[in-house]
Amino acid sequence: MKLFLAIVVAVLVVPASALAAGPTMIVRDVALHPGRALASSAPRFNMVGLHWRGTGAVFFRVRELDGRWSAWSQSDDDDRVQQGWHLGGLDWTGAATAMRIRTSGQVARVRAYYVDSPVETVSSRRLQVAGSPLIISRFSWQADESIRRAAPQYSDAVHYAVVHHTAGSNNYTRDESAAIVRGIEIYHVEGNGWNDIGYNFLVDKYGQVFEGRYGGVDKAVIGAHAQGFNTGSVGVAVLGSYGTSQVSAAAKTSLEQLLAWKLDLAHVDPLSTLTWKSGGNPRFPGGVPVFLRAISGHRDTGFTDCPGDALYAQLPQIAKDVVAIGGPKIYAPTALRTGEGQVRFTAKLSVAEPWTVTILNSAGVQVAQGSGSSGTVDWTWDGSTAPPDRYSWTIASSSARSATGTLGAGAALAVQKPTASPAEVAPGETTTFAYTLTAPATVTATLVSPTTQVLSTLLVATKPAGAQTLSFTPPPGLLNGQYTIALSAVAGAKTATAAIPFTVDDILTGLTTTGASLSFTLTRAPVSVAFQVLHNSAVVAVPTVPAAAAGAQTLSWDKLLADGTRAPDGLYTLALTVTDEFGTFTRTTDLTLDTTAPSVRVISYRTMRFVVSEAATLRLTVGSQVYTRVLKKPATTQFWLRTKPAQYTLTATDAAGNRSVVRYRR
């Protein structure tokens, strides 16, 4: 393809001396003006990513430390498009001091992300879980846990694997691999805006396996590696570019061992295929069924060359190699209801050998067992006479990893554990009704007035067995009183009902908390008002409450216990209870007393590695420079500076303003 040279520009980064705290990233919008003069030399970076708008392509080259310019490379967005921006991958360039960019086709904007990820020797500790290969944990490669945006999310199971390459240079050392992973983490989170690093695992050319997204290596953690196909998959990226280069023997071996372990945990046949509905991306709109292999390449799920032609061509052989790793395996175990109380168990064995299916009740007592000796499991349990209970099942053979699951076979239809939380609400507040179905049913929920009149139907829907919730917000104008949510569950000829009482009461409004004080308004004079302080569910103080009256109120706790002593640090609950003619209305709020400064334990003064005992804001002062880091929980943390300072001061301040100071002078 003949390239139209739209721009050639070198972009500078800020001095490295202004950076700290591990990998750093500088973001620059590139002005697209042809003929712009080349900039002078710049401090170095070692990874670069590009975002751009438009349908065209973006190319880059970097100036290496010896002054030579690298060959032109095209930024690959791997089919990742967010809000009109193409998100190019992060490429390892090695130490560089400037970059030139050129475009072809229609490109309206370009944004450059310069990452400088210092090379640090990682811990020699490795993680091994339930027969997994050795894995370098997030702690060992020094992931920055403070930048994670949200808790991990999980799929029901891993159904297939997606193989990637990270692109960029294959010219990296063993120690540089961890730096690349750290750089990818900061780029994915702070550049792309994702919750965490996108890949579940990363493998380097030396065969090292790195834990990727947080949440547990043996769990079905949902990553951000293949748009529209993240849920239900495990994403594994090989560091480097494999368009024409073959993956190393060490990388291939570790990749196969990792896939063999991960797919065996999920009882997935590496040679199987499946049809999976896209969650939506530029190639496959949401809901479109897509044919995939159990070990697929990223290009199978979107418009991308990933994982490169050479690696993609090896995937069929990799799948065959994965099958041969380890002993016999159980594939595709299922428990399917075929009739009233009938459950059919099926699975496939990689090697024909004796197998059993065992059913236990909730007390752990065996209630049924089937067996066979072929390569196919097919046995039906007649649970029609089994009492309602929670049952567990296991499909096992002599040497394979067992498959397990649970079911509620034989359970009669019932609506159990109906509750309202909170049970008293004011108009405009929301209460949540919870209940449990022992079997699938069509549920109808109606609102019943204090005079037993049906006011409205809130829900008519088919629900599966298990825990259910329904939220309700009383509309303005709904009269005070005791109401009921009437539940009716219907499954065939079976019907089950339940009632959930709750109270609507507008007596208490505008509740706010300031420290140990509660402010609120009573719309009318109540029967009584009580104020209690609880610690570990026990009442430890009962502050004085003035005579109940309508209007604005403020109640305060002096932070003294009932015996007059000062309350120790800890979590307390302030409970306000208002009683009127409609019932009792209670609101609570938590209060943390904290007079203890955070503890800072020094692992290494020289490398500035510390253990902090609680969430805190860290300020590292080196001369006139101040570097700030916010820890959201107790953590081990480290500051990276290019030049180790001869002296510094570290201050840790918690949310209550308590401070600890560490000083160092060489």
Q: What is the mean pLDDT of each run of 10 residues along the chain (666 residues)?
A: 38 35 84 47 79 90 90 86 87 90 90 90 66 88 91 92 92 93 94 94 96 94 93 96 94 96 95 90 83 95 91 96 92 83 90 94 92 93 81 91 78 81 87 90 93 91 91 90 92 85 90 91 88 86 88 93 90 88 83 91 93 94 94 93 92 92 92
Query: Between vectors from CA 474 to CA 551 and to CA 507, what angle results, nearest 5°?
Result: 15
For 551, counting Cβ atoms within 10 Å of its Cβ (0-12 exposed, 13-18 middle, 19+ buried), the class is: exposed
C-beta of residue 7 within 8 angstroms of C-beta of residue 50: no
pTM: 0.60
pLDDT of residue 452: 86
pLDDT of residue 136: 93
Count CA within 13 A, CB hemisphere, residue 299. Answer: 14
For residues 27 and 300, give the distance between their C-alpha atoms in angstroms, rounded to a whole number. Answer: 32
CA distances (Å), origin 160, targets 150, 273, 301, 434: 24, 9, 12, 34
pLDDT of residue 553: 92
Of 83, 75, 68, nearest in space to 47 by CA: 75
CA distances (Å), origin 47, targets 61, 114, 185, 214, 358: 12, 6, 12, 23, 54
User: Which secondary structure element, helix H or strand E, spans residue 437, and what is its range?
Assistant: strand 431-437
Angle between helices 249-265 and 309-324 (to 10 degrees): 50
Of 528, 420, 531, 432, nearest in space to 482 by CA: 420
Other residues' Cβ atoms within 10 Å of the Cβ of residue 114: 25
Other residues' Cβ atoms within 10 Å of the Cβ of residue 618: 24
For residues 411 and 659, give the distance between their C-alpha atoms in angstroms, rounded to a whole number. Answer: 58
- The token duo for 497 is 């009902």
- Rounded-to-10 torsion of CA 28, 32, 38, 44: 20
For residues 648 and 623, give the distance between their C-alpha atoms in angstroms, rounded to a whole number. Answer: 7
C-beta of residue 413 within 8 angstroms of C-beta of residue 428: no
Other residues' Cβ atoms within 10 Å of the Cβ of residue 289: 11
Phi, psi of 114 (to 5 degrees): -100, 120
Contacts with 205 (C-beta within 8 Å, 6 or more apart), sequence order: 170, 172, 238, 239, 240, 247, 248, 250, 251
DSSP state of 21: S
Q: Find residue 579's DSSP bridge partners.
A: 528, 584
Q: In three state form, how does the secondary structure of 447-508 look?
A: EECCCCCEEEEEEEEEECCEEEEEEECCCCCCCCEEEEEEEEEEECCEEEEEEEEEEECCCE
pLDDT of residue 395: 95
pLDDT of residue 13: 37
Other residues' Cβ atoms within 10 Å of the Cβ of residue 571: 12
Q: In three state form, how does the secondary structure of 601-617 look?
A: EEEECCCCEEEECCCEE
**Beta 424-425 vs 494-504: how paired, if at all?**
parallel
pLDDT of residue 4: 35
CA distances (Å), origin 32, targets 81, 107, 169, 641: 21, 9, 26, 34
Contacts with 623 (C-beta within 8 Å, 6 or more apart), sequence order: 645
pLDDT of residue 285: 82
Of 176, 184, 183, 177, nearest in space to 200 by CA: 184
User: Which secondary structure element, helix H or strand E, spans residue 261, and what is its range?
Assistant: helix 249-265
C-beta of residue 60 within 8 angstroms of C-beta of residue 71: no
Other residues' Cβ atoms within 10 Å of the Cβ of residue 166: 24
For residues 425 and 480, give the distance between their C-alpha atoms in angstroms, rounded to a whole number. Answer: 10
pLDDT of residue 639: 94
